[in-house]
A = this chain, B = another copy of it.
Amino acid sequence: MEQEDIFSSTDSQRGAFELPYAKYAVFENGMKLEQGGELPSLTICYETYGTLNERKDNAVFICHALTGDSHVARHTEDDSPGWWDILIGPGKSVDTNKYFVICPNILGGCRGTTGPDCINPQTGKPYGADFPMITIGDMVTAHMMLIDHLGIDKVLAVIGGSMGGMMVLDWAVNHKDRLCGAVLVASTTRSSAQAMAFDIVARNAITRDPEFRNGQYYDPGCPGPLDGLAIARMLGHLSYLSRESMTKKFDSTRNHGRDIETNFETRFSVGSYLAYQADKFNERFDANTYRVISMAIDLFDMGGTAEEIAQHIRNTTCRWMTMSFTSDWLFPADQMRELVSSLISCGKQVSFCNIESDCGHDAFLLPNQLSTYGSLIEHFLRNVRKSLAEPNDQRRIEQSVQARFNTRPDYPEILKLIPEGSTVLDLGCGNGELMEKLREKGAKRLMGIEMSERAVQACVAAGFDVVQGDLNKGLQPFNDKQFDYVVLSSTLQTITNVETVLEEMLRVGQKGIVTFPNAGYMPWREILYEEGRMPSFDPHEGSNWYTTTNTRFLTIRDFQEFCAKKGYRIVKQLALDTLKRCVVEHDCNRYANMAIVILTR
């Protein structure tokens, strides 16, 4: 049992099987390539799932990663599972009862689409090393030829993980009229030097294998660079797993390698796993394809910093859903955050979630975090589709969540303060309750920032754009005066960097709205003064000094003095006694337990 277990991988069930449901689109005029070469003819192998509707607006296009193929999901119960079977199918997150799913093998691939192992019509022999250098952009150009061939003007969304996400970026940047939504999972705007180094060592291993024969190894009797490709595959596996997941998988059987027939070292369990995976890979993959595609990955460069990325994404028009995984060190969250920052600064509609996982880069193919990334993709597709149906009336979007009870007495007051048609950024937006009320009231544009993964999920499910992030780090990607209102409701008391957050909210918003429990409330003062006990200073938290999540305690007077010192102007101030459920008109610092303040700078 245990021995079987260590050999499982996201890939291990996939051998050199046939693709019985594959279709082939042949383009006899070939295509020109970005780096200057051209292909005299082009065949694209692809599979489709579900039905294209009459309006042809339900297509979802899937871009696979380095070693994937067109077989993204099973077509029937008897069919072999696809590489994203857990995500795509009838009733699944990408529901093939609703959507028409298209997945091609990419240009340069070795699974049906034109690649180095195909016959070059100009020589009658396999391309081998003569296959021209291709780019991610070329792969996406081929995708365009395919959707043209299928008669689709614009797909609902393009979804890609890892290298697939790079293709999604290229769609959005260079073919902006052909997609409504862009979904990037565990991807990046460009590989880090570390990630490139893995690819480079892998290519060196392939090309220095004497059996590589300068890429012309397709003749009978030539085994091809099996050792080189095996080393490349071992390196790939290493970069796809996290240290934690490798420890879990191999440490208990550390010194007990499985006795398999292989040319590679099997002394340790992790070694026998790598050997096994490498040998299996050699049965189904082509070394030239590995080399050509990994080079396309390394050449891909939409910038490394938010500023550089902005040069590329400035004119995109799609809505974005971006996801990273906390233990992914190949395409880590920080790189995705640069893209997200860039999209924010350019005013695009974007959501981001850094999903907690110990599975490393491979997490996007595994069931472990499917409940999060599957749900985010499912709701994002629905959100994009809804906004197509009623593009000018975001208000009427169907409520995805149950009507929630009103736990927050400051919300009705905040709603009164924000005029219809405003743009609002909600800091610490929680499950999106305030945003929902603002949407009902007719807000023009809404966006939230929130720390909790579950809350981010709830917001996306409710139709909102939300970015997972820590307010204490500031709002750096946002532009000056990007929103009419920036709201910090019942969150100030949990903020570490108070000065940063308030400064930033007044930079990004025309106005800021802050609500907080007022520690000056007389019953609380009395608890301390008369009883010598510390009050909870929070009417709705009900916890005590040693368990409260509140860390900042202030009175209305303290806040007024703070604003005066900082030069913030208090435009309006409201005060509530939330226990008596009334507005406090006089001597607020004494009689109110909650303050609501509108500020400007």
Are A519 and B534 neighbours in the complex by a CB distance under 8 Å?
yes
Residue with the highest number of chain B CB atoms closer than 10 Å, among A194, A554, A590: A194
A332 and B205 contact, CB distance less than 8 A = no
Majority secondary structure, A binding face: helix
CB within 8 Å for A528 and B528 given contacts A246-B197, A545-B552, A552-B545: yes
CA distance in complex: A567, B254 (Å): 45
CA distance A519 to B537 in the complex (A): 14
A562 to B545, CA, bound (A): 10
**A207 sits at the interface (CB 8 A):** yes
In the bound complex, do residue A231 and residue B264 qualify as a contact, i.e. CB atoms below 8 Å apart? no
B557 touches A552 (CB 8 A): no
Q: Are B558 and A534 in contact (CB under 8 A)?
A: yes
Please determine whether B231 and A270 come into contact, CB atoms closer than 8 angstroms: no
Q: Is A208 an interface residue (CB 8 A)?
A: yes
Interface string of A485-516 (1 = CB under 8 A from B): 00000000000001100000000000000000
Number of copies: 2
- Does A218 lie at the interface of the complex (its beta carbon under 8 Å from any beta carbon of B)? no
CB-based contact A525/B529 at 8 Å: yes
Given known contacts A250-B193, A545-B558, A555-B532, is B304 in contact with A201 (CB within 8 Å)? no
Whether, in the assembled complex, A198 has its beta carbon less than 8 Å from a beta carbon of chain B, the answer is yes
Asked whether any CB of chain B lies closer than 8 Å to the CB of A230, the reply is yes
A285: Cβ under 8 A from any B Cβ: no
Contact residues in B for A207 (Cβ distance below 8 Å)? 265
Instruction: Write the nearest CB–CB distance from A417 to chain B, whole angstroms.
Output: 23
Contacts of A546 in B (CB 8 A): 498-499, 552, 554, 562
Interface contact A590-B264, CB-CB below 8 Å:
no
**Closest B residue by C-beta to A252:** B304
Residue of B nearest to A526 (CB): B529
- Asked if B200 and A271 make an inter-chain contact with CB atoms under 8 angstroms apart, the answer reads yes
Mark the stretch among A49-57, A67-75, A161-169, A234-242 that contacts chain B: A234-242
Interface residues of A in 222-246 (CB under 8 A from B): 227, 230-231, 234-235, 237-238, 241-243, 246
A193-B249 in contact given A208-B264, A254-B301, A555-B534 (Cβ < 8 Å): yes
Closest to A589 in B: B532
Contact A329 B532, CB 8 Å, known A499-B546, A551-B551, A558-B545: no
Q: Which of B192, B519, B544 contacts A246 (CB 8 A)?
A: B192
Interface size band for A: 35 or more
Q: Is A27 an interface residue (CB 8 A)?
A: no
Asked if A137 is an interface residue, CB under 8 A from chain B, the answer is: no
Return the contact of A194 from the options B196, B205, B246, B531 (Cβ within 8 A).
B246
Instruction: Flag A545-581 by CB within 8 Å of B: 1 or 0 each.
Output: 1110001111111100110000000000000000000
In the complex, whether A400 has a CB less than 8 A from a CB of chain B is no
How many Å from the CB of A243 to the closest CB on chain B? 4
- Please indicate the chain B residues that have their CB under 8 angstroms from the CB of A544 in the complex: 558
Determine the chain B residues whose CB is within 8 A of the CB of A378 once the complex forms. Answer: none
**Cα separation A210 to B227 with both chains bound (whole Å):** 10
Q: How far is the CB of A265 from chain B (nearest CB, A)?
A: 6
User: Complex formed: what's the CA distance from A197 to B231 in Å?
Assistant: 11
Of A203, A499, A545, A562, most B-chain CB atoms within 10 Å: A545
14 A-B residue pairings within 8 Å (CB atoms): A192-B247, A193-B247, A193-B250, A194-B241, A197-B246, A201-B238, A203-B265, A208-B264, A254-B301, A329-B329, A520-B532, A525-B532, A545-B553, A546-B552
Give A residues with C-beta under 8 Å from B: 192-194, 196-198, 200-201, 203-205, 207-208, 210, 227, 230-231, 234-235, 237-238, 241-243, 246-247, 249-251, 254-255, 263-265, 268-271, 274-275, 298, 301, 304, 329, 332, 498-499, 519-520, 525-526, 528-529, 531-534, 544-547, 551-558, 561-562, 589-590
